[in-house]
Amino acid sequence: MACLLVSAILFLTQSQGGVLERRHLDNGALLETLKSEVGLLSNKSEHYSAQVRPPGTSRQIPQTIIIGVRKGGTRALLEMLDIHPHIVVAATEVHFFDWDENYVKGIDWYRSLMPFSYENQITIEKTPGYFTSPQVPERIHDMNSSIKLLLILRDPTERVISDYTQVYYNRLESHKPVQHFEDIVIKNGALNAKYKAIQRSLYDIHMERWLKHFNLNQIHIVDGNTLIKDPLPELQKVEKFLNLPPRILPSNFYFNQTKGFYCIRSDGRERCLHESKGRPHPVVNTTVLDQLRCHFREHNERFYSMVNHSFHWH
């Protein structure tokens, strides 16, 4: 009962302030954008790593895009899909559809950032900011109305904490002041529903926009909580969705005890996710945790019915 009341009040507050983020300034991506804007992209940059075109290949605009969500496990998903011989992936987050200054450069600019591929390969890029950016669904639809989209989601409360954690470490590294999680999330005793990280976790609100432009069967949702615990079954579902032959195998993964994560073994190479992934989260006050879960509950229910699938988030 208390939960319902609180969410009703918060829901009102949030629909009044309902502006969602325009873009997120992930440091790495920002740097890439700045570099390309001032023409500093060297030939060695990841963007242009394959300067020499292997015979029989060309650059293609993506037939599939991982649209988000930020801190949902997009990097893990992309790296794992990269195991598949029929998949090539863009090295960096491109931010073509969500950043106007990139979008105006046009589709040829976008294509030029894609790796070379053979005809039987599909190109995938991921930019986690797409999912929550209002203008993106229509722009992607304009490019290819039958495109297949991948969306990786995790428990929305965990996602908020992970979002906070990333910003926290970025600020620490650049010697900026940091705040406790609880002090950001709770303002004057109530949940701070305007906090961007909370708004990004309102999956129903974002999904509604996507479903105005795409059929549900064009959007495959990967369960990020499952992908981390047991990658293969989730990846096999993606192979099916993309009509690819099953080529990702149990032997492509090994569990790294130190990291507590799966690492990837393919083409005789082993790779684990970058150190910044899977950083330890702060221990959050359980009252605050309950308030967050309470806030997301009805949004989650709405999302489950929208996508006809229950994710059993808290």
Ligand X SMILES: *[C@@H]1O[C@H](CO)[C@@H](O)[C@H](O)[C@H]1NC(C)=O
Q: Is 35 a catalytic residue?
A: no
Q: Are 98 and 190 in contact (CB under 8 A)?
A: no
Helix (H) or strand (E) holding 117: strand 116-117
Q: Does 192 bind ligand X (CB under 6 A)?
A: no
Q: Are 249 and 174 in contact (CB under 8 A)?
A: no
Nearer to ligand X, 42 or 251 (CB): 42
Q: Does 310 bind ligand X (CB under 6 A)?
A: no
Distance CA 94, CA 61 (A): 12
Distance CA 138, CA 299 (A): 23
Phi-psi region of 218 (alpha: psi -120 to 50; beta: other; left: phi over 0): alpha
One of 196, 285, 293, 302 touching ligand X (CB under 6 A): 285
277 is in an annotated binding site: yes
Q: Considering only 56-64, 127-135, 196-204, 224-232, which stretch makes contact with ligand X by CB under 6 A?
A: 56-64
Distance CA 198, CA 162 (A): 11
> Which residues, listed in sequence order, are joined to residue 151 by a DSSP beta bridge?
68, 221
Q: Does 64 bind ligand X (CB under 6 A)?
A: yes
Q: Does 43 bind ligand X (CB under 6 A)?
A: yes
Which residues, 262 to 281, sit near ligand X by CB under 6 A? 263, 270, 272
Q: Does 228 bind ligand X (CB under 6 A)?
A: no
Active-site annotation holder among 35, 71, 148, 259:
71
187 is in an annotated binding site: no
Q: Total binding residues for ligand X by CB under 6 A?
A: 18
Q: Does 6 bind ligand X (CB under 6 A)?
A: no
262 is in an annotated binding site: yes
213 is in an annotated binding site: no
One of 49, 58, 236, 256 touching ligand X (CB under 6 A): 256
Q: Does 61 bind ligand X (CB under 6 A)?
A: yes
Q: Are 300 and 156 in contact (CB under 8 A)?
A: yes
Tokens of 47: 């963007």
Q: Does 147 bind ligand X (CB under 6 A)?
A: yes
Q: Are 148 and 242 in contact (CB under 8 A)?
A: yes
Query: What are the residues whose beta carbons fall under 8 Å from the beta carbon of 159, sequence distance 6 or more?
Result: 69, 70, 71, 72, 153, 197, 200, 201
Query: What are the residues whose beta carbons fall under 8 Å from the beta carbon of 231, sequence distance 6 or more?
Result: 76, 80, 253, 262
Provide, rounded to whole angstroms, the least separation between the CB of residue 26 and ligand X: 21
Q: Does 188 bind ligand X (CB under 6 A)?
A: no
154 is in an annotated binding site: yes
Binding residues for 3'-phosphoadenylyl sulfate: 71-75, 154, 162, 262, 277-281
Catalytic center residues: 71
Site residues, ligand X (CB under 6 A): 42-43, 61, 63-64, 144, 146-148, 256, 258-259, 263, 270, 272, 285, 287, 308
